[in-house]
């Protein structure tokens, strides 16, 4: 009976450990996992280390990168140095849409927002879908661009 119970527990742990990790081909799932990984990194390493890391090119994965926004709406981490400290009132995209209110209304559950932004790989403006999660008074976000 002990061997059967041990085998059952081992099999259960194996099945639980086989959680599918989204790939870049699953843009929405991959984006959400980037944000969750960023929050874990922040929790494990602290604010200063996380801000430094997510402000570096080392944190960029193709079109994906994480940016962190403080409670006042200012980006405190982004691999795009021009975005750090930028006035939140300037969150107006090429179509005239102000995305700042949507961004700032994200909760711990998270929310999707969409806006036009310069694609880092093509340099062209494209629709970006961004997943935003509020954590520890900050907003953690990452997004992907629509394919044409």
- Tell me which range, 42-56, 73-87, 93-107, 121-135, is most confidently predicted by mean pLDDT: 42-56
In a domain, 121, yes or no: yes
pLDDT of residue 106: 96
In a domain, 71, yes or no: yes
Contact 68, 51 (CB under 8 A): yes
pLDDT category at 122 given cuts 50, 70, 90 is: confident
In a domain, 19, yes or no: no
pLDDT of residue 145: 93
pLDDT of residue 16: 45
In a domain, 44, yes or no: yes
pLDDT category at 23 given cuts 50, 70, 90 is: low
b (16+ CB within 10 A) / e for 18-56:
eeeeeeeeebeebbbbbbbebbebbeeeeeeebbebbbe
Could you tell me the CATH number of the domain that includes residue 34? 3.30.450.20
Give the tokens for residue 140: 């953690």
Q: What is the mean pLDDT of residues 15-30?
A: 68
Give the tokens for residue 113: 């927002």
Count how many domains the chain has: 1
- Tell me which range, 31-35, 60-64, 88-92, is most confidently predicted by mean pLDDT: 31-35
Contact 55, 43 (CB under 8 A): no
Domain that holds residue 75: 24-145
In a domain, 8, yes or no: no
């Amino acid at each position: 009976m002990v061997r059967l119970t041990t085998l059952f527990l081992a099999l259960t742990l194996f099945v639980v450990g086989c959680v599918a990790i989204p790939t870049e081909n699953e843009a929405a799932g991959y984006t959400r996992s980037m944000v969750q990984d960023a929050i874990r990194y922040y929790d494990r390493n602290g604010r200063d280390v996380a801000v430094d890391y997510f402000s570096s090119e080392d944190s960029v994965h193709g079109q994906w990168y994480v940016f962190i926004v403080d409670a006042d709406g200012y980006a405190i981490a982004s691999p795009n140095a021009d975005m750090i400290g930028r006035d939140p009132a300037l969150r107006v995209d090429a179509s005239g849409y102000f995305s700042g209110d949507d961004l700032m209304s994200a909760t711990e559950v998270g929310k999707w927002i969409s806006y036009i932004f310069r694609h880092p790989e093509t340099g062209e403006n494209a629709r970006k879908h961004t997943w935003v999660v509020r954590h520890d008074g900050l907003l953690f976000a990452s997004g992907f661009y629509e394919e044409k």
